A = this chain, B = another copy of it.
Amino acid sequence: MLRLAPPGFLRFSQSNSFDVIYGGGESNVAVSLANYGVPVDFVTRLPKNDIGECALMEMRKRGVGTDKIVFGGDRLGIYFLETGAVSRGSKVVYDRAHSAMAEIEKGMVDWKFVFEGVEWFHWTGITPAISQGAADACLEAVKAASDLGVTISTDLNYRAKLWKYCDDAKREEIMSELTSYCDIVLGNEEDAEKHFGIKPEGLDITTQGEHVKAEAFLSVCEQMMKRFPRAKKVITTLRGSLSASHNTWAGVLYDGKTMYKSPEYQITHIVDRVGGGDSFMGGLIYGLLNYPEHDQNALDFAVAASCLKHTIKGDENLATVFEVEKLMGGDASGRVAR
């Protein structure tokens, strides 16, 4: 997608230029991984025009493989972003209908070719949300990956404004089928509830501005595992929105037995929180791959990685493994690295 954003904290009507950033849910995860040195390809559908070409170049620049991208359709999805501060939240105006990706259809991607030699496949709940065709293609991908024994992860990513082509029951059916193939399931506070009606017990987690307690999510994780037996790990990010400028950030990981909790970070001067969840997922995949049998480390890497993302402009997390491990190791002092 193409992000168009007035510079600084300007409102849309105050600016005569927009900062241009190319990104998007799955591609942000891909960039995180490429950045950590993990070989990764991004599969999407891009229009054959200069704007689609620019999105492709950003992937290539960041070291993400682009050979599996298919071309067609008329436009790249756009979103307009106004960056908020303190009590004024950031504002997103979506203009992604009719994008090349929204008009993808079953059969357009050769998933056998895509998954050749691949170990891991990640998708997010945004893809099936944008159109029936995208949901179909996503299911096709998940099944193909499953057949080939590829590890599958998802970020449930509920977006109320996107699910327009079907009703709630159909949405739950689609998401349930897709999620049933997943080994690793990530959600934030709302996703499990909105997608599957699964809520924590005894706590209203949507209370704004409060420190969200990790304990409450144990019941959510247990319910998720019961519903999706193939899931080996269920993970939740925990964001406390004190203001648009100051959030707390943490996560929990449940492997069916143990509930791992990360430290909670104070992100006191947020630079850009868009892409926070994607950076968590990127960090988590890296962590699970690089700290096998050490889920605490994997979780801590994911949380530290996405903590750093909040200090970086744009959708992508450009932190390095060195930087993430430094923060994960406890050094949040932000001293100058000379």
Asked whether B92 lies within 8 Å of A323 as measured between CB atoms, the reply is: no
**In the complex, which of the residues B271, B327, B337 contacts A85, with contact meaning CB atoms closer than 8 Å?**
B271
**In the complex, which of the residues B89, B97, B274, B319 contacts A75, with contact meaning CB atoms closer than 8 Å?**
B97
Q: Report Cα–Cα, A34/B332, bound state, in Å.
A: 36
Tell me the minimal C-beta distance from A277 to chain B in angstroms: 11
Asked whether B312 lies within 8 Å of A11 as measured between CB atoms, the reply is: yes
Most B CB contacts (10 A, CB to CB) among A17, A18, A323 go to A17
**In the complex, which of the residues B16, B161, B209, B307 contacts A338, with contact meaning CB atoms closer than 8 Å?**
B161
Q: Report Cα–Cα, A161/B74, bound state, in Å.
A: 12
Question: What 1/0 mask marks residues of chain A from 42 to 53 whose CB sits below 8 Å from any chain B CB?
Answer: 000000011101
Most B CB contacts (10 A, CB to CB) among A74, A78, A242, A335 go to A335
Number of copies: 6
User: Is A251 at the interface (CB under 8 A from chain B)?
Assistant: no
* B contact residues around A8 at 8 Å (CB): 8, 313
**In the complex, which of the residues B54, B243, B319 contacts A268, with contact meaning CB atoms closer than 8 Å?**
B243
**In the complex, which of the residues B20, B313, B318, B333 contacts A241, with contact meaning CB atoms closer than 8 Å?**
B333
User: Is A159 at the interface (CB under 8 A from chain B)?
Assistant: yes
Asked whether A209 lies within 8 Å of B333 as measured between CB atoms, the reply is: yes
**In the complex, which of the residues B18, B93, B270 contacts A50, with contact meaning CB atoms closer than 8 Å?**
B93
Asked whether B269 lies within 8 Å of A92 as measured between CB atoms, the reply is: no
Q: Report Cα–Cα, A336/B82, bound state, in Å.
A: 9
Tell me the minimal C-beta distance from A51 to chain B in angstroms: 6
Tell me the minimal C-beta distance from A319 to chain B in angstroms: 7
**CB within 8 Å of B: which A305-338 residues:** 307-308, 310-314, 318-319, 323, 327, 331-338
* B contact residues around A78 at 8 Å (CB): 78, 95
Q: Report Cα–Cα, A215/B17, bound state, in Å.
A: 44
In the A-B complex, the 10 residue pairs with the smallest Cβ-Cβ separation, listed nearest first, are A244-B334, A208-B333, A61-B61, A241-B333, A245-B269, A88-B311, A85-B311, A89-B334, A243-B334, A87-B332
